[in-house]
Amino acid sequence: MIDFQSVIEDIHKDIKHDVNRGLVASYIPELSNIDPQQFGIHVKHINGNSYATGDWNVPFSIQSISKALSLALVLPIYKDAIWERMDVEPSGNPFNHLSLLELENGIPRNPFINAGAIVVADMMVSHFKNPKQVFLDYVRDLANDKTIDFNYTVAKSERLTGFGNYAAANLLKAYNNLENDVDEVLDLYFHQCSIEMTCEQLSNAFFMFANHGKCLQQKERLTSSQAKRINAIMLTCGFYDEAGEFAFEVGLPGKSGVGGGIIALLPNHFTITTWSPGLNERGNSLLGMKALEQFTTKTKLSIF
């Protein structure tokens, strides 16, 4: 039996004083105010046990991690029709790259690049009368925590500086891959990215991906097949142009965000969240990547 608490405490102790911690995201001004010294780890085992160390209970902006949750919300509604509007291939490019979108006639390479997540947001706007509240309630239900909320200051910061996302949304609109008003879709997208969660809340919310689509309350949110497919996209596309490196070093499906969070999971075993705000040059948490590599090495638990 693996002593998960000792494993994550050893990892935290080993790397928490690393001098090279990466750089905090500054292109979203509000994120540049985060203390780069913070570092937390949380593990949720499939049997219900939790293990945590460091700053695991400090809320942070989940940013692109939200893309896996928005996809999980719309997949049971739209089913395979989703894949008529986006692909499931790794992009090999940064998350905000636009050139592929034009080359491929407005079809985003996958749901985790910004353009793909904007199409998913468009689906939510089409289907729900109040998509922001529906999405927030969905995340709260998954994590079994009503205290989770948007950070409206971060959402506003993204709206005022997100020119690349406006460009992507308008390009999608030009190719008839956006049904609704650009401003309305982006308002939802910026808010979903601004949601603040702790490592614990994220581990709990992603429990369904490790449990064949059933959330913490054992309610079926996705079919086993849908959970498998989203896990596959997380493995191949969850870290943008560093997805291959993450699979190589860590060997788990996962999703990162420029707020410094990383969620990863092993079906039938656990979810694990790390948070350290400093990012590497690819936009992924530097200490988080290192911690997860050590975790799968020490526990010998990965999909490979």
Q: Which of 70, 240, 255, 256 is catalytic?
A: 240
Active site residue 64: yes
Q: Which of 16, 43, 51, 67 is catalytic?
A: 67
Alpha-carbon gap, residue 21 to 101, rounded angstroms: 33
Active site residue 166: no
Q: Which of 44, 66, 74, 189 is catalytic?
A: 189
Rg, C-alpha atoms of the chain: 18
Strand partners, 149: 196
Q: Which runs of E-coded beta strand occur in the chain?
A: 23-24, 40-45, 50-54, 60-61, 196-197, 254-256, 261-266, 270-275, 278-279
Q: Which of 64, 66, 70, 276 is catalytic?
A: 64
CA 144 to chain centre: 18
**Residue 116: φ, ψ to 5°:** -65, -40
Alpha helices, H only, 79-151? 99-103, 114-127, 131-143
Active site residue 26: no
Q: Are 70 and 233 in contact (CB under 8 A)?
A: no
Q: Quick one: angle between helices 182-194 and 163-174, nearest 10?
A: 140
Give the pairing type, strands 254-256 and 270-275.
unpaired
Q: Are 171 and 185 in contact (CB under 8 A)?
A: no
Ramachandran region, residue 272 (left: φ > 0; alpha: ψ -120 to 50; beta: rest): beta
Q: Which of 258, 276, 285, 290 is catalytic?
A: 258
Active site residue 298: no
Q: Are 225 and 79 in contact (CB under 8 A)?
A: no
Strand partners, 42: 52, 273
Q: Are 125 and 180 in contact (CB under 8 A)?
A: yes
How far from 257 is each of 16, 54, 130, 175, 296, CA to CA, in Å?
20, 19, 25, 27, 20
Active site residue 154: no
Catalytic residue ranges: 64, 67, 189, 240, 258
